[in-house]
Chains A and B, each alone.
Chain A
Amino acid sequence: MDYFLTEEQQMIVDLSRQITDELIIPQRAALDESEDFPGAILDAIAKADLFGVYIPEEYGGFGAGTFEIVLALEQFGRGCVGVATAFAASALGAFPILVAGSEEMKQKYLPDIASGAKKAAFALTEANAGSDASGIQTTAVLDGEEWVLNGTKQWITNAGEAKIYTVVAMTDRAKGPRGASMFVVEDSDPGFSYGVKEKKLGIRASSTRELIFKDCRIPKERLIGRLGTGFITVMKTLDKSRPGIAVLGVGLGQAALDEAVRYAKQRVQFGKPIISFQAVQHMLADMAIQVEAARAIVYAAARHIDAHPKDMSKASSMCKVFATDMAMKVTVDAVQVLGGYGYMRDYPVEKMMRDAKILQIYEGTNQIQRNVVGQELNKEYT
């Protein structure tokens, strides 16, 4: 289907496709096996100027928006959701600075993030605070000219690889959600360290570790935005970032569909390629319909967000749920089409199925997304 991309948008697609085909796809199986961080691939993405797609030109970026980064992520997701997650996590880490940071803060951090010289990471989740963010136990206390952070963040993507972390901590627990604030923590800050690397079902090329703050002291001006606005910044960040996760589902679903159709055309049983059997055709047709529908809703949501509407939560959550549930289903079906071969690591679809699962979980579980949509409906119909 033609989505009427501009020439610049098409350029981003072409470039991301080339990186995906030439660098990511040939290496994805090895990265999945070794669980190594894809440093060289990310360097190539940086050289191609893609880390700065969504960052304004005055901070060294390309000055485009959510839709453009969605286009890039769709290609990377088609190649490997692990690599794509490592790339996307840097944008997620940069968004708080972009949406709430001061001019000085933007000038200090965004150019390095745009060039890819430094990667960023976003740190919200803790052992007792996942979907329920009010359970956050990490604290930040002002001591003279410095904030002192204590606590542990869990399952932080790009931990240990990023140089710039945007961290949520409670500055006044008594105020509940209004007592949370966001801070920039740098890799080299005293009292800041990392936990061991987690072993995961999928997206193994991405690095997932704890952030440990033990009397971690950072300068006062590292506070992002005003005191107590941490959760608002988090919500704004996630509203902007969810289409990026959703589109990984689109790319992944497309990849699974591609593999399934290719296989069905060449696999011969009962004297015919299995694509000539209606049972298989219908599976493939359903997969194709769902991938295209997901692409349409994600593109629409991303364009909606780029129009800077007052309210973007519903569109953002809807596309995340739809596209990632789709990716789970389509990758399971792709394994089914490939049968026993699909279950083997010689073929890429079992990895795709493992990678798909995280999309329904991270950046807000799909259950939480449905809550958001439901709450918005409730508001709309009052």
Chain B
Amino acid sequence: MKIIVCIKQVPDAKDVRLDPKTNTLAREGVQSIINPYDRHALEEAVRIKENMGGTVTVMTMGPPQAEEILREAVSCGADEAVLVSDRAFAGADTLATTYTLSQAIKKIGGADLILCGKQAIDGDTAQVGPGLAVRMGMPYVTCVRKISAAKDKPFIVERLMDDGYDEIEIELPALFTVVKEINEPRLPSLKGKMKAKKLSVTTLTAADINADASQLGLKGSPTWVVRVFAPQFKGQRTMIQGTVQEQVDQLAEKILEWC
């Protein structure tokens, strides 16, 4: 079975902050990491491979530095790594991104199973997984919290809904986006790290994937950012003072008024 995991390099959310004075994102000391949801997708892919055989290829679209996360993914169990990188991809929104990724996947011979994280923590759109499935002509299930796979049988997956979960039967090829509950991602291994060090990452450019230039990057992106600003919060901030008992008494009085 050929499994492709799409991963994204993102700034570590706990470091990202908009500086209210300069109105810019503080970038100093912000680490680049594998999008946390994608780690769960990778772990699930490696587990499926361990149970059913096959290969796991990690793919990312990004600048040359994104190679780092591909190597990290290999140290955690992926077999192959593909970097989709070209200046022409810059400024892509999700529509252009799914086009680019689908062309790259077709270029390397397609996939039986594509796994993605539910969403990326920088954009939070949750659109690339479903969009990529449409481009690949595959059925998909989002927010998967469990995958049960057996040879020569349809996959059974559990889809997290707002009011519970659906149990779904689906034949491959297919694409799933996964949530964190699905597994506990493993740490890298020493052998994995050795492999990652030696690995040659395949790089695909716009020309390599036979891309239609009008569908790439900014040109292929129907949405654009009009304005970026810091969120505003309200709150009149009345501090309740006094001894603990006095504070409790005042608070209880207010709460009983409301409830």
Indicate if A touches B (C-beta under 8 A).
yes
A49 at the interface (CB under 8 A from B): yes
Contact present for B187 and A11 (CB under 8 Å): no
Residues of A within 8 A of B219 (CB): none
> Which bracket fits the contact residues of B?
10 to 19
* Across-interface contacts of A293 in B (CB, < 8 A): none
Please tell me the number of chain A residues within 8 Å of chain B, measured between CB atoms: 17
A8 touches B187 (CB 8 A): no
B-contacting residues, A1-51, CB 8 Å: 7-8, 11-12, 14-15, 18-19, 22-23, 44, 47-50
Contact string against B for A residues 93-114, beta-carbon threshold 8 Å, 1 for contact and 0 otherwise = 0000000000000000000000
* Minimum C-beta distance from A52 to chain B (A): 8
Is the beta-carbon distance between B193 and A47 smaller than 8 angstroms? no
Q: Is A341 part of the contact surface with B, judged by Cβ < 8 Å? A: no
Contact indicator B190/A49 (Cβ below 8 Å): yes
Instruction: Indicate if B153 sits at the interface (CB-CB under 8 A).
Output: no
Which single member of A7, A12, A23, A44 contacts B190 (CB below 8 Å)? A12
Kindly list chain A residues whose C-beta atoms are within 8 Å of the C-beta of B27.
none
Q: Which residues in window 178-220 of B have CB below 8 A to A?
A: 186-194, 197
Q: Which residue of B lies closest to A53 (CB)?
A: B190
Which chain B residues border A263 with CB–CB below 8 Å?
Answer: none
Asked if A62 CB lies within 8 Å of chain B CBs, one says: yes
Q: Which residues of A contact B194 (CB under 8 A)?
A: 8, 11
Measured CA separation A254–B188 after assembly (Å): 25
A48 to B186, CA, bound (A): 8
A11, B191: Cα distance in complex, Å: 10
Give the residue name and chain of the A residue nearest to B191 (CB): A49
Whether B189 and A7, one on each chain, are in contact in the complex, defined by CB atoms closer than 8 angstroms, is no
* List of B residues within 8 angstroms of A15 by Cβ: 187-190, 193
Q: What's the nearest-Cβ distance from chain A to residue B160, in Å?
A: 25
Pick the most buried of B189, B190, B194, B197: most chain A CB atoms within 10 A of its CB: B190
Nearest-Cβ distance from residue A324 to partner chain B, whole angstroms: 27
Q: Which residue of B lies closest to A7 (CB)?
A: B197
Point out the residues of chain B lying under 8 angstroms from A18, CB to CB: 187-188
Seen from chain A, the residues whose Cβ lies within 8 Å of a Cβ on chain B are 7-8, 11-12, 14-15, 18-19, 22-23, 44, 47-50, 53, 62
Question: Contact residues of B with A, CB < 8 Å?
Answer: 186-194, 197
Beyond contacts A7-B197, A11-B193, A44-B186: 7 other A-B pairs, Cβ-Cβ < 8 A, are A8-B194, A11-B190, A11-B194, A14-B193, A18-B187, A18-B188, A47-B186
User: What are 16 A-B pairs with beta-carbon distances under 8 A?
Assistant: A8-B194, A11-B190, A11-B197, A15-B187, A15-B188, A15-B190, A15-B193, A18-B187, A18-B188, A47-B186, A48-B187, A48-B188, A49-B190, A49-B191, A50-B190, A62-B190
